[in-house]
Amino acid sequence: MGRALKSKLEVAGIYLTVLVMFAVILYPLLWAVSISLNPGTSMFSAKMIPDNLSLEHYRWLFEDPRSNYVLWYRNTLIVACFNALASVILVGLVAYVFSRYSFAGRKSSIYAVLLMQMFPVLMGMVAIYLLLNLVGLLDTFAGLVIFYVVGGLPMNVFLVKGYMDTIPKDLDESAKMDGAGHLASYFRILFPLTCPILSVVALFTFMAPFMDFLTPRIILRTPEKFTIALGLFSFINDKVGNNFTMFAAGTILVALPIATVFLFLQRYLISGLADGATKG
């Protein structure tokens, strides 16, 4: 087999793999959009191309007084924004300490962070539930945000620390010689340089409350405080009547804030993901 033919076959294989992956991702998305535009409530009577396109489900979500969709959406946005903001600040500062300073127990602490990544956060859900109940943060947005921030801390700290380790320490030392303190050195020197990897952390932590069902189900009790995942579940459980078309319309709208944040952080995300993978 000639080198040119082999090269063409490799390129064809790459394009075929990408095409298959694209079809696997796009097919469920197209079905979700089509189901949301089908009249009625049944998923099984829906067609890929509806005979009569209808926006009644979208109108119902926002206009019907029986719908709490806007309230659930607002709750999720509040939790997502605070989770992203708190995670970026806390993860950046903790990673800065591990990357730039030597102190007693530093090596053991890094090993502890690595070890905590091996265990899912839900293993400690019972203890977290009891702790939140003890301090009065059960059924509150604050308790949910704390769970998300602390649960994602080990992985995010390890990711950002690996990125920071590649930034020369001479920059910090020059800033300190000019009179900058520890926080000033971080926010003026390191923070702008770590924006790519912190943007990755911001996006992932912003997405978490939109995608997670189990954690809010355990922590939140009041229906008015439900996140979007809990609220949408009520559309397809037996109590409401399995309204899959309404559920599909609600899930399509979930993508809007995530896509907005992605586009806003796009210039940082690609370099952050690539550099985090190679520098960590």
d(CA 192, CA 198): 10
* pLDDT at residue 40 is higher than 50: yes
For residue 271, what pLDDT is reported? 61
For residue 83, what pLDDT is reported? 95
Mean per-residue pLDDT, 104-127: 78
What DSSP assignment string belongs to 152-202?
Answer: HHHHHHHHHHHHHTTS-THHHHHHHHTT--HHHHIIIIIHHHTHHHHHHHH
The better pLDDT of the pair 6, 228 is held by 228
For residue 116, what pLDDT is reported? 75
For residue 273, what pLDDT is reported? 52
Q: Which residues of 124-148 are buried (b: 16+ CB within 10 A; e: fewer)?
A: ebeebeeebeeeebbebbebbbbbb
d(CA 97, CA 157): 10
For residue 1, what pLDDT is reported? 55
How many residues can be counted in the chain? Answer: 280
For residue 42, what pLDDT is reported? 61
Which pLDDT band, with edges at 50, 70 and 90, does 242 fall under? low
Q: How is the chain split into domains, by residue range? A: 3-58, 66-279
Q: Does the CA dihedral 15-21-23-29 come out positive or negative?
A: negative
For residue 87, what pLDDT is reported? 94
Give the model confidence (pLDDT) of 59-94 as tens digits.
888 887 778 889 999 999 999 999 999 999 999 999
CA angle 80, 85, 86 (to 5 degrees): 100
- Name the fold adopted by 66-279: MetI-like fold (1.10.3720)
